[in-house]
Amino acid sequence: MDLVNSLNDRLLFAVPKKGRLHQACLDLLHGSDIQFHRHSRLDIALVKNHPLALVFLPAADIPTFVGEGRVDLGITGRDQVAEHECAVPPTDTTGVEEVLDLGFGKCKLQVQVPLRGTLTKPEDLVGKNVVTSFTNLTEQYFRKLEAQHETKQKTNIKYVGGSVEAACALGVADGIVDLVESGETMRAAGLTAISTVVESSAVLIKSKHPSDSKLVDLITARIKGVITAQKYVLCTYNIERAKLGVACKITPGRRAPTTTSLEEDGWVAVSVMVLKKQIAVVMDQLTEAGACDILVMKIDNSRTI
Ligand SMILES: Nc1ncnc2c1ncn2[C@@H]1O[C@H](COP(=O)(O)OP(=O)(O)OP(=O)(O)O)[C@@H](O)[C@H]1O
Ligand SMILES: O=P(O)(O)OC[C@H]1O[C@H](OP(=O)(O)OP(=O)(O)O)[C@H](O)[C@@H]1O
């Protein structure tokens, strides 16, 4: 198969080829019914049911390809977009547009120092050695700090590709700038966070001039449907009509709750979307408000505005 020629007339969609975002992206594509078969060792996969091709790239490179318009859509971390934009500021025609926050891959890019050391605030690192994989954001952060303190001292920023947390223990750095999610890696390395450079989560991005805007909108709507379905549950309950006003305040729904009269006089059944993380509290409040037969169901997919 001439893979390169078969890319003509297909929208290109970049997906992280490995790392923390890879599996969540595959799950999202599956949930969106984007069907493909990836041959082993090939970083391009043609989508069977859309004029679309997936390109598997390192998360850090995706903002470059999408920003230059070589690839139409992509998923990466907001931290990677920010790192790229520090080096290549967007113009009217280049750079990426964020389409959706995907809600996974949440982490913070933080300045970290040894827990049992003398450095306690970011200013203490000015003029010292800082190791990171995010050199552009780190340069920007420390140049700003140096300017604020009107010092001629320059912080020395060094790049390493991974295991950044080892740099202080190995005597290469006085502090690091690295990603933190649970904080386990940081604590295990005897480090503590003293400042946040960027807060991140996975985002869907698009180029400023995608080759097929209609298909971009369709793929966006599909992905949004899956993300919404993951965030919400469907809650149904029965309640006396007289108590419906109070119950609707507890479960206002995204637009409004759906109510249906029950065969039993004066009673209604309510069906409403509730944020998954709030459902336990909502169930407690509904019970107190007089609701009964409360049921909670998983939503597989959705299309909402
Ligand atoms: N611990 C984490 N928790 C949540 N999200 C993370 C975490 N670490 C990284 N990420 C997100 O995933 C993106 C890719 O990071 P990851 O380290 O998995 O990339 P990678 O392509 O495997 O790179 P590398 O080879 O440098 O490790 C990050 O830019 C960030 O947005
Ligand atoms: O706060 P935590 O939950 O411990 O996660 C943070 C760690 O995750 C990432 O590294 P990853 O494990 O992807 O490997 P890497 O160091 O090779 O980038 C990041 O660079 C941190 O080291």
So what's the ipTM on this one?
Answer: 0.95
| Crossing angle (nearest 10°) for helices 213-231 and 22-31 | 100
Is residue 266's pLDDT more than 90?
Answer: yes
Residue with CA nearest ligand 2 atom 17:
162
State residue 5's pLDDT score.
75
Q: Cα(140)–Cα(7) distance, rounded to whole angstroms?
A: 38
| DSSP strands (E only) in the chain | 11-16, 44-46, 52-57, 73-77, 96-101, 107-114, 129-132, 156-159, 175-180, 191-200, 202-207, 232-240, 258-261, 267-275, 292-298
State residue 40's pLDDT score.
83
- Distance from the alpha carbon of residue 58 to the mean position of ligand 1, in angstroms: 10
State residue 1's pLDDT score.
56
Q: How confident is the model over 41-58, as a mean pLDDT?
A: 94
Q: Which residues contact 112 (CB under 8 A, 6 or more apart)?
A: 165, 168, 175, 176, 177, 178, 180, 186, 191, 192, 193, 194
Q: How confident is the model over 103-122, as a mean pLDDT?
A: 96
Structure pTM?
0.90
Mutating to test ligand 2, I would choose from 185, 199, 201 the residue with most ligand atoms within 8 A of its C-beta, which is 185
Give the model's confidence band at 151: pLDDT under 50 very low, under 70 low, under 90 confident, else very high.
Answer: confident
State residue 6's pLDDT score.
77
- Nearest ligand 1 atom to the CA of 185 is 1
Ligand 2 pocket list (CB less than 6 A): 19-20, 162-163, 165, 178-186
Q: Where are the chain's structural domains?
A: 5-103+201-211, 107-200, 232-298
State residue 193's pLDDT score.
98
Residue type at 223 in one-letter notation: I
The yes or no reply on domain 5-103+201-211 and CATH 3.40.50.2300 is: no
- Distance from the alpha carbon of residue 105 to the mean position of ligand 2, in angstroms: 11
- Distance from the alpha carbon of residue 153 to the mean position of ligand 1, in angstroms: 31
- Which CATH number applies to 107-200: 1.10.443.10, 3.40.50.1220, 3.40.190.10, 1.10.3720.10? 3.40.190.10
Is residue 305's pLDDT more than 90?
Answer: no
| 107-200 and 5-103+201-211 share a CATH fold | yes
**For tokens 């805007």, what's the residue?**
213
- Distance from the alpha carbon of residue 21 to the mean position of ligand 1, in angstroms: 7
Mutating to test ligand 1, I would choose from 15, 17, 21, 184 the residue with most ligand atoms within 8 A of its C-beta, which is 21
Q: For residue 61, give the ligand nearest its CA.
A: 1
Fold designation for 232-298: Alpha-Beta Plaits (3.30.70)
Over the Cα atoms of the chain, what is R_g?
A: 24
Percent of the chain's residues with pLDDT above 70: 99
Whether ligand 1 lies within 6 angstroms of the CB of 80 is answered as yes
Q: How confident is the model over 101-116, as a mean pLDDT?
A: 96
